[in-house]
Structure 1
């Protein structure tokens, strides 16, 4: 029996300086390939990254070095490596990962996955960011009869949050906490 399990980032593509880099089935990017393609300085090759942070990433299974295929890194380790290269490169790599979340369908899928993992606060932030990008904010300012469906949904969501907050305040007052 052969079980094919892929990582949640398997196949994800990040774009840095116009070059696309794809994660493997384990959700890892080839740092050596990134270093070569972007022609980063020789002293900043992944094999030269021997800091405490690199050792920590290896211990956490976020970084894997191999003589034959180069260094492979999870999203976390890729950003840590980029920070070691330079703060400008860290910004580029971070922005490349963030760009994935700019796609509304991806952002919603990420938010739902975060919620299923119990990270409700972070999931709510991602959902709001996605909603804010899609919302017609001019319509929110117009009267209810002229609002878009997104604006009406926003107003309903705001009312629901206020209702829940009010209920929580009543419960706290009642229990004396």
Structure 2
């Protein structure tokens, strides 16, 4: 928008304000953060620690508290999303099936996770946002392919979270997702992601 306004010569006050903000937001090395990704990076690091056998490490208590605190308790009305999701950052974040699946899965896999209400709320959110075809997209049910539509990666992560929550492989949500993944697999074995 700023580039368009600058090229048009309109709203010079807005373009000057945007330029000032960009200068202030630059890091010491001249780069800009795309966005805060505290939940995303925490999910990646915690998954590695859990896989390496560190689930009982007392330092992960702070991680559990952080993930619980970052779960969104209000609906995201712009997309008609119910509460219970995680986004990639906080305090009020865009709903993300990927981060919701990862955070929920991690909470289930930490000690005492089977009784974690936050993880259960995340699974309820995933259940509510599963497409009728069985897949998951960014956050909106039955979105069209392309852009933020059905995604095999998000679907696979959601299936993993369902299984980590105790859902059996024959669970209807899991079975629908697996059927859809089999149907969209390319002849060379690959998948087209979001």
What TM-score bracket applies, with the shorter chain setting the length? under 0.3
| Structure number having the greater helix percentage | 1
TM-score, normalized by length of structure 2?
0.26
| Structure number having the greater strand percentage | 1
Name the larger-Rg structure. 1
Higher relative contact order (CA 8 A, sep 6+): 2
TM-score, normalized by length of structure 1?
0.28
